[in-house]
A = this chain, B = another copy of it.
């Protein structure tokens, strides 16, 4: 355990996102045929950091790390699971939301990172319902308050027990002077389409709502008497399961422990190495190409398990991005590099692209999609450097379109050949951004011709000039300029205000249409970040700080 507050000296490795069901303290998974139950029974004496107790099924980052793990395992390890019921193991309380005392003592950056991670996990739950044939339901056997209701909102069907007490509520504004910022406001009006004036009422009523009115206002889908609750939950879960296309006769992919070695300035995973430059304030993530040819068939792929290269890369990048976010806040620039045999990647891409209707291939592609999205929303500057020996092909070329800028060497630095990049089918429809477009569609917004031209280049090795002509990289310095240009770029970027960069990047990265997800990360999270800075919430007399002390918050009454 360790502190979450500002000025902790030993920041490194405070947060570890690797876990497994045998280590869970707060959740249990039980599976009965096509239906899994994910039961939350938070151990109040096991907070992730000292200073608070996790009463009333409230959660902190530790609880959410387990949830994230459980959601992943249900997808990969359990093809037979077609519906997932989230419920509580504690009488009368489904979930009280994020732990307030934890929020009160957390630094601004921990609050923001915590919310981003919880949002990503809830988006992953929706992604499973929408794309994996694994539909989530919320069996609210007690009150779902704040983040607890927001968790329920991420499922497709909300059943609330009718016991005279249980309610759903978003009491953040009246009680805590912050927003229901884990998607709550967005999902209430944009997903569940609660009328906006009714949403205004709901979000200011501390005790929330229940019964018929909660159904009429669309806050929940149904209310069920206690005596019939379990049966009705099973019935609805089986209904959803019946619509699933997941196979019942397949074995899952076991998510064996992720191999990782953390040293002072280096983190190593299979196929990914992260080099930390604390003086230059950057981290370089180098992804290595497969060390063997692609499996000949999906059956062969399945035998490889988590060592199947795209899966190994997704797991390593997922963990590395989370590790850097939470443990290395001052490394403001992430640099993406690749190395190895690009032709092999093209073969892996083809295997995945050709077998998208296989459940496991679909899961791997969706996981890659979620991981590249995690890079998109990471509040660090991201650059890609295309150097000799690199292999930005297909699913790795996609990273060129996620980063803020890409630099490709035009020519040679030594006796290795000049670098090339290559597109694959995966760049044109499978790996979408949060805005619903591919990264190339976003890059060439309103310019369909450039997207069509890029499509014609699939499978062709493109040198720096060709990549520039096709608009696929930002700059292509030659060998004389390369080193100086990269050095100046990194120095300049590190000299800017981290906050201004975060805001700028958040606005430039997501041109085009907006979706629930972009609204959550853009509009809702930005407002919550603002409120998290305001004395009315986070000051010494703010509501977050004083919650539970019996003292009343003092507000500056000026509206801004």
Contact = CB atoms under 8 A, between A and B. Distances in A.
Interface of A: 108-109, 112-113, 172-174, 176-179, 185-186, 188-190, 193, 195-201, 203-204, 281, 329-332, 379-380, 403-406, 442-447, 471, 474, 492-493, 496-509, 511-514, 519, 522-524, 526-531, 533-534, 536-537, 543, 553, 555-560
Given A195-B443, A204-B493, A503-B531, 9 more contacts: A113-B560, A172-B500, A185-B504, A203-B504, A330-B558, A498-B559, A499-B537, A499-B560, A523-B523
A536 B195 contact: no
Contact of A508 (B177, B189, B514, B553): B189
A169 to B, nearest CB: 14
A185 B522 CA distance: 13
A529 to B, nearest CB: 5
- The copy count of this chain in the complex is 2
Contacts of A331: 559
Contacts of A204: 492-493, 496, 504
A455 B168 CA distance: 33
A203 B508 CA distance: 10
Nearest to A380: B559
B511 A190 contact: yes
Given A404-B200, A513-B514, A523 B507 contact: yes
Contacts of A496: 173-174, 177, 204, 555
A179 B109 contact: no
Contacts of A508: 185, 188-189, 196, 199-200, 203
A330 B557 contact: yes
A474 B201 contact: yes
A405 B529 contact: no
Given A186-B507, A444-B195, A526-B530, A497 B559 contact: no
A178 B332 CA distance: 17
Contact of A507 (B444, B507, B527): B527
Contact of A502 (B445, B509, B560): B560
Contacts of A492: 174, 204
A474 B557 contact: no
- Per CB-CB distance, the 9 closest pairs between chain A and chain B, nearest first, are A177-B497, A526-B526, A514-B514, A503-B527, A189-B511, A185-B507, A522-B523, A530-B530, A197-B474
Contacts of A536: 497-500
